[in-house]
Structure 1
């Protein structure tokens, strides 16, 4: 499995069978991105309705005939835009062609802008993925909360994608506690330095966890690692 960071919270799993899984595909207007909306994807995971997370989900779904996996309220909107969807709700799970997915709860708000008005978009979520004999946890936008310890005991997590931007999610200090609760082998910080409001130094997370645990990725040449 190849882990690829495309900036902000947009991450990708490239599997051994050639499938591309993308999470929170904020590409257009993302100052960090290294890809375009012509990028090939097979499955699209969207954690919640905010525009810098659902981003280009409709365009990517239509171009690639790829299903959008999200909570039902968000997939309902996507269906109205003629996208392909596969709704899962909090705590639900499914076996898909790439492996197993379970939708995990997150602590965050969620809405989508429809014709200039904010509409309720269901609860915010995270995803737990099992593929290529690896377990990946994409936390989405969230705070650090006690159930992260339950997640860590229930699943042998290889890589956890954790937001560190602060203000709208947890920051580096809280993310370090979260990583300890999850007991993940590797942690990739996301959701930081995209906008002035979420400026952070990822080294603040590095210094709070054992050596080698944190993988700082930057879109482009230094944006990948294999597990």
Structure 2
């Protein structure tokens, strides 16, 4: 499969069977991304939580491409009420076998709300995703701080690649993320959710130096790796 980083927390995966997964598609208003909201393609859109820099352009992209939104049930209900035809709601600890592979929803320590028409709407609990695709396991942490049960994920799953936020202020910073990587025992770790705004300015290379055995990889925007 081919995995591409598109700035902030936007990640896409294209499987061998040409299924395209798009994570947290914050495109409009994201000065770091290489994507254009009216051109990006997706078959599946995975949303970790309801903040505007993660829900982003998910709804118009889903409507245009006929993609299925995979998220916590409250976000899926919100999407359906706003014209998205295909959604698949999940909740903590639940897993489901999709045509592209298996998705398990796991906790994230954060919050989740979406402001519209001056009103903050509750968007369910924030989450991370564990994906098992083509014999590999990928962890997309979403926005989170470190928490002890990450060790359980590391003990029970052989994580090949983990996307971890390092921005601080709203999520864990580099030191906590490095500790989380140790708990997860991931073979490769890519930092996300940094440098988009002044409050989350970080040096991603400094983060990778905190990790053992050269497992850290900084992906520049638009870079693709094969797994």
Contact 2:190 2:218 in 1 (8 A): yes
Q: Distance in 2 between matches of 1:99 and 1:224?
A: 20
Deviation at 1:210, TM superposition (A): 2.0
Q: Which residue of 2 aligns with 1:110?
A: 112
Aligned match for 1:86, one of 80, 85, 88: 88
Q: Which runs of 5+ in 1 are unaligned?
A: none
The answer as to whether partners of 1:101 and 1:130 remain within 8 angstroms in 2 is: yes
Residues 108 and 143, structure 2, Cα contact 8 Å, conserved in 1: yes
Structure 2 distance, partners of 1:183, 1:175, is: 12
Match of 2:7 in 1: 7
Alignment match, 1:147: 149
User: 1:4-83 alignment to 2 at 5 Å?
Assistant: 4-37=4-37, 38-83=39-84
User: Which residue among 206, 209, 212 is the counterpart of 1:207?
Assistant: 209
Q: Taking structure 2 as the reference length, what is the TM-score of the superposition?
A: 0.97
Q: Distance in 1 between matches of 2:29 and 2:213?
A: 34
Return 5+ residue gaps in structure 2 as ranges: none
Distance in 1 separating the partners of 2:94 and 2:20: 22
Q: Which runs of 4+ in 1 moved over 2 A?
A: none
User: How many aligned positions are there?
Assistant: 225
Counterpart Cα distance in 1 of 2:203 and 2:107: 27
Q: For the Cα contact (< 8 Å) 1:173–1:204, is it kept in 2?
A: no
TM-score of the aligned structures, taking structure 1 as reference length: 0.97
Conserved 8 A contact 2:209-2:216: no
**Which residue pairs with 1:156 in the alignment?**
158
- Give 3-state SS (helix, strand or coil) of 2:13's partner: strand
